[in-house]
Amino acid sequence: MPSADPGQPCAAVRRGRPRSEAAEQAIFAAVEELMAGGTALSEVTIEGIATAAGVGKATIYRRWPNKEALLVDVVSRLEVPMPEPSGAARDDLIAMIDHVRRRGLAKRTRWVLKAALGQMQTLPELAAAYRERVIKPRREAGLCLIRQAVAEGVIRDDVDLDLLGDLLMGPILYRSILWDDSDLEDPQLARKMVDALLDGLAPR
């Protein structure tokens, strides 16, 4: 387990490409439409995207070297920026979980993410880029908050850090990505999860 460094504040995770104009929006919307509609990613072509977006192929190639790079951006931008850590470990854990809950409220986002996750084995470059650019920074931000919570005495120090990460984030990721009909409406859900996880499921 990496050592806790309570002196180093955890960084918020921001989108890599905030800038976006009309053509780019149309391209993103076209790919999302294709993905949510069930088109296999392996069958998506730059030509098909250009047609659906009403732009020329050159407009796409000016921005992205290939399909995989574009797909990574499509999936990355579904991530809303994570909240700036407050420094209070329990609140920050709740905010991190609530952030995933709020993202999951958009059904279209869930569909596109599920379609992407379900097909990444066919596009190893996309899978690698997604892991490097989306999963890894977010996982590290989450583990940083957990290490801080351990350092503050909010979380016990005798449980493996990766296991802590899965116990804290697994339930909300399961509810928000895997199942379409799960309930994410309750604004108190993240707090209830953290309360139950910290206090334990056994009677006291």
d(Cα 90, Cα 95) in Å, to the nearest integer? 9
Phi-psi region of 55 (alpha: psi -120 to 50; beta: other; left: phi over 0): beta
- In angstroms, give the least distance from the CB of 167 to a second copy: 5
Contact letters (x/-) for a second copy, 47-86, by CB under 8 A?
A: ----------------------------------------
Binders of a second copy among residues 163 to 202 (CB under 8 A) are: 163-164, 166-175, 177-181, 183, 189, 192-193, 196-202
Among 5, 47, 132, 160, binds a second copy (CB under 8 A): 160
Please state the closest distance from residue 143 (CB atom) to a second copy, in A.
14
Contacts of 95 (CB under 8 A, 6+ apart): 83, 85, 86, 190
Q: Which stretch binds a second copy (CB under 8 A): 13-21, 31-39, 65-73, 78-86?
A: 31-39
Taking CB under 8 A as the rule, does residue 136 contact a second copy? Answer: no
Residues 6 or more apart whose Cβ sits within 8 Å of residue 111:
35, 36, 180
Residue (26 or 151) nearer to a second copy, CB: 151
* CA distance linking residue 35 with residue 43, whole number of Å: 11
Q: What torsion, rounded to 10 degrees, do the Cα atoms 116, 122, 127, 128 define?
A: -170
Work out how close the CB of 195 gets to a second copy at its nearest, in angstroms, rounded to a whole number: 9
Using CB under 8 A as the binding rule, whether residue 122 contacts a second copy is answered as yes
> Looking at 102, 114, 140, 144, which residue binds a second copy (CB under 8 A)?
114
102-105 contacts at long range (C-beta below 8 A, 24 or more positions apart): 103/78, 103/79, 103/176, 104/172, 104/175, 104/176, 104/177, 104/184, 105/184, 105/185
For a second copy, the binding residues (CB under 8 A) are 36-43, 111, 114-123, 127, 131, 135, 153-157, 159-160, 162-164, 166-175, 177-181, 183, 189, 192-193, 196-204
